[in-house]
Structure 1
Amino acid sequence: MTRSRTPRSSRALAAGLVLGLLALAGCGGGAPGDDRSATQPADQPAGQPASTSPTAEEATAGAHAGDHHAEAAKPVKPKKLRAGETRTTIAMPASYTPDAPYGTGTDDYRCFLLDPELDRDAWLTGTHVQPGNPEVVHHVILFQVTPDQVEAAEAKDAAEEGEGWTCFGGTGLDQFQDVNRSSWIGAWAPGGEESVVKPGYGVRLRKGSRVVMQVHYNLLAGQQPDTSAAQLRLAPGNRKYQGLSTMLLPAPVELPCRPKHSDGELCDRDAAVADVKERFGADGNTADLLYFLCGGEPRAGQTQSCVRTLGESITIHGVAAHMHLLGRSIKVEVRPGTPQAQTILDIPVWDFDDQGSRPIEPITLQPFEQVKVTCTHVQWLRDKLPAFEGQPDRYVVWGEGTTDEMCLGMLQVTRP
């Protein structure tokens, strides 16, 4: 690990993001009032996608989506520190060469335990993830490891040969990830920059805390070594800041094959889910577990959504989204279906290489009010993108891989 400090010196703290979650048990209310009919256009038979014929403009956009990953990862100059802030750099102690951990698949998720050497409490006021080899790094997430978890994290690190450990989904340190109060403290995906919280806010880091850096490696781009790092922007822990946390809003993905391609062996949902589980082990259960969180049952269609009912008051300060290469659009709403409904994020044409978070004017929601995420995915993009070359249609469900899919909204929130 390397470590450096810069003495003294907006945009809400963001996920550049993503993902992996879950295990959703105990993660808050279901979705009363969720209209599952929204998952299928009214004029389409159940199980059939809406029009798959892109316009010329859409086809052009699709042809370029996701094809300049390394360009989007070029280093940028860090933002100026504010009074009293310092920077600490945490980095993988040695390079890691990714590989498919279960012998099949095109992705590797690896967790690295890093020590910011906190000798007193601090506020995390920004993160700047620095992918070492952006050709193979798909995304990075930083997780807080509280002092009481350090021993378990060290044991997990020591249990596997080489740097770090395999960690599809979360870090593996918690049996269940709490999507309402995620341990995420920062992230990077293409288009993400240094994230800095607005003055007076931060994520509380206790003395002795560690950080897990989870790196998703895209093996379709090769198996080149990587040494990624991150800069943490810190403020003194005795300041009276408001504590920020990340709330995750996942929704199912149930994208069927196109009718002319539906004879493929993975066009059956059960076969597609079994394939995901084979490639990602126990963490491949997300496609089914999401229905414990969102309610309803699997229903094929290009557009899917999830409504969450809040169990406590929150104030939203920032919002971000994450999908993969077949993502077409994503929207996050608060108080959906009411006269007070408000859209806080609307991306009508998804760009994988532009996943930065958006600050918003603070919105306070009360218990029993709702938030909703809606995503649309399309199969025709696989005809346009090099990542899918030679890959036939498949029934697409939530999966950790580059050519799998996700639907995820992220909220940066404070609580009373």
Structure 2
Amino acid sequence: MLTRPRRALAAALASGLLLLTACGGDDPASDPADDRTATQPAEADAASPESAADAGEEQAQQAGHDGHYAEPARSKRLRAGETRTTIAMPGSYTPSAPYGTGTDDYRCFVLDPGLERDAWLTGTQVLPGNPDTVHHVILFQLPPEQSAAAEEKDAAEEGEGWTCFGGTGLERVQNVDRSSWIGAWAPGGEETVIKPGFGIRLAKGSRIVMQVHYNLLAGQQADTSAAQLRLAPGTRRLESLSTMLLPAPVELPCRPKHSDGELCDRAAALADVKERFGAEGNTADLLHLLCGGEPEPGEVQSCVRTMSEPLTIHGVAGHMHLLGRSLTIEVNPGTPQARTILDIPVWDFDDQGSRPIEPVRLEPFEQVKVTCRHVQWLRDRLPSFEGQPDRYVVWGEGTTDEMCLGMLQVTRP
């Protein structure tokens, strides 16, 4: 049973957590049977958000008129009543290390789909403007009441958008049980289509925050990324999906032959992460509060979460970076009802698609466990680590840092 402090932390882990559901590819609840090349949009019914589509397409033309992002070569056919609208960054952005050090830049941009009435989001397709430097893209739902705060944050920094390691930076704490994540792109990602009967509710006036992670190791070229939203009328009776995040610590020590390195000391490595990512660099400490226990160095790390309410899991995904080797998600671990719902025996960073599963119902006090394995020897084989000695690896936002993250797409009664 979760104690009150653990439950509070699970519901409000500080925004150092990447919502990758973070770097997901295909939507966990996508419909494989609908994988058909688009020709003509399906005829929209009277309640469809046509005005949103018109506004989004106009905005896309303004932002992408000079070819800043590529139109998708292949899209899935729209279903009856759906429309597709394109939203784009309001202008180009040239990434740089925001704190003067490091090789990563996380930038958030507010995009307006022009929703004049409630709608259901039933699919997304991210269009990275510069795939060489765009490490991943995450789309967050921005309720109308947060629009003013987003505009204020945008205006406070020069250039388009604002620095946003972790989440959007618009909330003091980030709810890992009910994430505001609504879509993402990472290498291997394609258009996502939520299976029939389900959707993500978008209120009238909602906007979208696009968080772009730029990998500066690939250069600092200007970027203008965009996204396409698949929308259905808000009058439809769909089941509401949301994302639950399952982060676990990363505590990967240096190899014995390299243990004399300057950053092979955990405290020094953690201080380096905090220097590169500011206040959001404290996730490594927070995860041990969420998952319990003191840091224990090792290739394999895990975290067990206890459900505080009933829910049904419809899709699963995992996320690690370049040193990731394997990842699993298990429900009811250590019991006769134990079941593995995601098993990635060999991690491939360039294939981060999510997976639909047969619905799994969990009751209060039942548990779910995420386990990751990271290895240092991959440093010797990957160009991104060329010239970089071993370091003690903790959770960090950078391309050459690491994460252990499971994602569940769920419905609740």
CA 1:26–1:132 in 2, change beyond 3 Å: closer, same or farther?
same
Aligned-partner SS, 1:113: strand
In 1: Cα distance, 2:192 partner to 2:72 partner:
14
1:84 and 2:81 are equivalent in the alignment: yes
How well do the aligned residues superpose, as a CA RMSD in angstroms?
1.6
Contact kept in structure 1, 2:143 and 2:207, CA below 8 Å: yes
1:119 and 2:108 are equivalent in the alignment: no
Q: Kindly state the Cα deviation for residue 27 of structure 1 after the two structures are TM-superposed.
A: 2.1
In 1: Cα distance, 2:323 partner to 2:73 partner:
28
TM-score (norm 1): 0.83
Alignment of 1:15-164 (within 5 A): 26-28=9-11, 75-164=72-161
In 2: Cα distance, 1:296 partner to 1:260 partner:
28
In 2: Cα distance, 1:179 partner to 1:230 partner:
24
Q: Kindly state the Cα deviation for residue 26 of structure 1 after the two structures are TM-superposed.
A: 3.4
Contact kept in structure 2, 1:27 and 1:293, CA below 8 Å: yes
Contact kept in structure 2, 1:96 and 1:226, CA below 8 Å: yes
Paired AA for residue 334 in structure 1: V
Q: Deviations over 1:88-147 (max 9, x none)?
A: 111011111100000000000000001000000000000001111000000000000001
Contact kept in structure 2, 1:332 and 1:372, CA below 8 Å: yes
CA 1:348–1:76 in 2, change beyond 3 Å: closer, same or farther?
farther
Contact kept in structure 1, 2:312 and 2:412, CA below 8 Å: yes
Contact kept in structure 2, 1:336 and 1:342, CA below 8 Å: yes
Contact kept in structure 2, 1:303 and 1:376, CA below 8 Å: yes
Q: Counterpart in 2 of 1:324? A: 321
Aligned-partner SS, 2:178: coil
Contact kept in structure 1, 2:133 and 2:214, CA below 8 Å: yes
Paired AA for residue 206 in structure 2: S
In 2: Cα distance, 1:376 partner to 1:92 partner:
36
Aligned-partner SS, 1:214: strand
Q: Counterpart in 2 of 1:396? A: 393
Alignment of 1:254-273 (within 5 A): 254-273=251-270
Alignment of 1:142-221 (within 5 A): 142-221=139-218
Contact kept in structure 1, 2:12 and 2:174, CA below 8 Å: no
Q: Kindly state the Cα deviation for residue 292 of structure 1 after the two structures are TM-superposed.
A: 1.6
Contact kept in structure 2, 1:331 and 1:343, CA below 8 Å: yes
In 2: Cα distance, 1:25 partner to 1:138 partner:
31
CA 1:228–1:197 in 2, change beyond 3 Å: closer, same or farther?
same
Paired AA for residue 140 in structure 1: V
In 1: Cα distance, 2:166 partner to 2:81 partner:
36
Q: Kindly state the Cα deviation for residue 74 of structure 1 after the two structures are TM-superposed.
A: 10
Alignment of 1:220-235 (within 5 A): 220-235=217-232
TM-score (norm 2): 0.84
In 1: Cα distance, 2:72 partner to 2:276 partner:
32
Contact kept in structure 1, 2:12 and 2:173, CA below 8 Å: no
Contact kept in structure 2, 1:29 and 1:293, CA below 8 Å: no
Aligned-partner SS, 1:109: strand
Q: Kindly state the Cα deviation for residue 291 of structure 1 after the two structures are TM-superposed.
A: 1.1
Contact kept in structure 2, 1:25 and 1:292, CA below 8 Å: no
Contact kept in structure 2, 1:323 and 1:352, CA below 8 Å: yes
CA 1:215–1:25 in 2, change beyond 3 Å: closer, same or farther?
farther
Paired AA for residue 9 in structure 2: G
Contact kept in structure 2, 1:142 and 1:187, CA below 8 Å: yes
Q: Counterpart in 1 of 2:238? A: 241
Contact kept in structure 2, 1:114 and 1:210, CA below 8 Å: yes
Contact kept in structure 1, 2:385 and 2:400, CA below 8 Å: yes
Structure 2 unaligned residues grouped into runs of 5+: 1-6, 14-69
Structure 1 unaligned residues grouped into runs of 5+: 1-23, 31-72
In 2: Cα distance, 1:87 partner to 1:176 partner:
32
Q: Deviations over 1:191-249 (max 9, x none)?
A: 11111111110000000001000000000001011111000000000101000000000
Contact kept in structure 2, 1:330 and 1:346, CA below 8 Å: yes
Contact kept in structure 2, 1:382 and 1:388, CA below 8 Å: yes
Paired AA for residue 26 in structure 1: L
Match for residue 278 of structure 1 among 275, 280, 287: 275
Number of aligned residues: 352
Aligned-partner SS, 1:27: helix
Q: Counterpart in 1 of 2:311? A: 314
1:369 and 2:352 are equivalent in the alignment: no
Q: Counterpart in 1 of 2:3? A: none
Paired AA for residue 83 in structure 1: A
Q: Deviations over 1:150-181 (max 9, x none)?
A: 11111111111100000000000111110000
Q: Kindly state the Cα deviation for residue 307 of structure 1 after the two structures are TM-superposed.
A: 0.2
Paired AA for residue 411 in structure 1: L
In 2: Cα distance, 1:25 partner to 1:269 partner:
27
In 2: Cα distance, 1:119 partner to 1:29 partner:
31
Aligned-partner SS, 1:156: helix
Aligned-partner SS, 1:26: helix
Q: Kindly state the Cα deviation for residue 301 of structure 1 after the two structures are TM-superposed.
A: 0.1
Q: Deviations over 1:390-412 (max 9, x none)?
A: 00000000000000000001000
Q: Counterpart in 2 of 1:415? A: 412
In 1: Cα distance, 2:11 partner to 2:100 partner:
35
Contact kept in structure 2, 1:316 and 1:364, CA below 8 Å: yes
